[in-house]
Homo-oligomer: A and B are copies of this chain.
Amino acid sequence: MIMNDHNLLSTFALLTRTPAVLNALLRDLPDTWTLRNEGEGTWTAFDVVGHLIHGERTDWMPRARLLLQYGESRAFEPFDRLAQMRESQGKSLGQLLDKFADLRAANLAELRALNLRHEDLERRGLHPALGPVTLSQLLATWASHDLTHLHQISRIMAHQYREAVGPWAAYLGVMQCAGHSS
């Protein structure tokens, strides 16, 4: 990895800390916050952590490897956005948080070991729906995907207090969020 590439350093800094953020926010938190969703067909915070695990297993680094090996000649595997509904069954939130932290650490170690050069970041792969994408875009999306789900988790949690806050709901922006980060 080029340590003077600012964007990549920022991406790495964020990816490294997300497991600790989710741990600080969710571990041992009452079920009120972690096992309730925003209504039928929506996710709980528990579901979101399972989704992040599935991403570590099948999305980000596997796509980076495919891109570096095959370029645009082989499209990425489509990502299964519902896999966690099977894979998280019977697990505790603590187990999921541990698993996410382990997988993320292993993936970042692998990313570091690639010793990416600046020109590697401009190499292209083929997204099955979006078309050509660069490695730089893939890595920036990995970090932004963490943020979209932190945004979602805070919204899911706030939803549980919609009644409890009474008239203050009008002042709390998160309670106006239409759920575009699900």
Report A1-44 residues with CB < 8 Å from chain B CB: 6-7, 9-10, 13-14, 17, 20-21, 23-25, 28-30, 32-33
Residues of B within 8 A of A143 (CB): 161
Cβ B164 vs Cβ A140 within 8 A: yes
Interface residues on A, range: 35 or more
**Count of chain copies:** 2
Cβ B17 vs Cβ A30 within 8 A: no
Residues of B within 8 A of A137 (CB): 164-168
Q: Is A123 located at the chain interface by the 8 A CB criterion?
A: no
Given A140-B161, A167-B131, A172-B145 contact (CB < 8 Å): yes
Q: Is A65 located at the chain interface by the 8 A CB criterion?
A: no
Cβ B17 vs Cβ A29 within 8 A: yes
Report A30-66 residues with CB < 8 Å from chain B CB: 30, 32-33
28 contacts between A and B (CB under 8 A): A7-B32, A7-B164, A10-B32, A10-B33, A14-B29, A14-B33, A17-B29, A21-B24, A21-B25, A130-B167, A130-B171, A133-B167, A133-B168, A140-B168, A141-B166, A141-B172, A144-B165, A144-B174, A147-B161, A148-B158, A148-B173, A148-B174, A148-B175, A172-B181, A173-B181, A174-B181, A176-B180, A176-B181
Chain A residues with CB under 8 Å of chain B are: 6-7, 9-10, 13-14, 17, 20-21, 23-25, 28-30, 32-33, 127, 130-131, 133-134, 136-137, 140-141, 143-145, 147-148, 150-152, 154-155, 157-158, 161, 164-168, 170-177, 179-182
